[in-house]
Amino acid sequence: MDNNTFEDKYWRFIERDKKYHNQGKEFGKLCISQFSGEVFDDYDDNTYLADYIGSVMSIFPSGKFYMFWCSNFTWKDAAMDYCFNEGLESVLDDHNYWLESGEGDPTDLFICRSLDD
């Protein structure tokens, strides 16, 4: 059996490397500590707070934004970003925040929380 396929390398990296997961967690903690939130309404007229945290290209380890038809990334880029995102979202979830992309520019990222929290 060939253990060097894209998928094998990807999942072995994720199981082994906690560096990017921890970086995502630390970034999440920093974002929450600096959260100042601007009031927004969603399409169902729910009101929530959102804070711009930066661009995908400046936040995620690979510095890339993925489009399914492009080939500008490697398995390692994808694995690093996956680990970072898992760490980031785990911290946000633990504190009742969530990650959202921008409406006008999908590379813009916001952390959000309900006004009820």
State the amino acid at position 13 in one-letter form.
F
- Per the listing, tokens 């990296």 go with 13
Mean residue pLDDT across the chain = 89
Cβ neighbors of 19 (< 8 A, separation 6 or more) are 83
In the prediction, which pLDDT does 5 show?
78
Given a cut of 70, whether residue 3 has pLDDT beyond it is no
Predicted structure pTM score? 0.84
Tokens of 55: 């661009």
pLDDT value of residue 117:
60
Domains of the chain by residue range: 6-114
Query: CA–CA separation, 94 vs 23, rounded Å?
Result: 16
pLDDT per position as a tens digit, 24-45 = 999 999 999 999 999 988 888 8
* pLDDT for position 2: 55
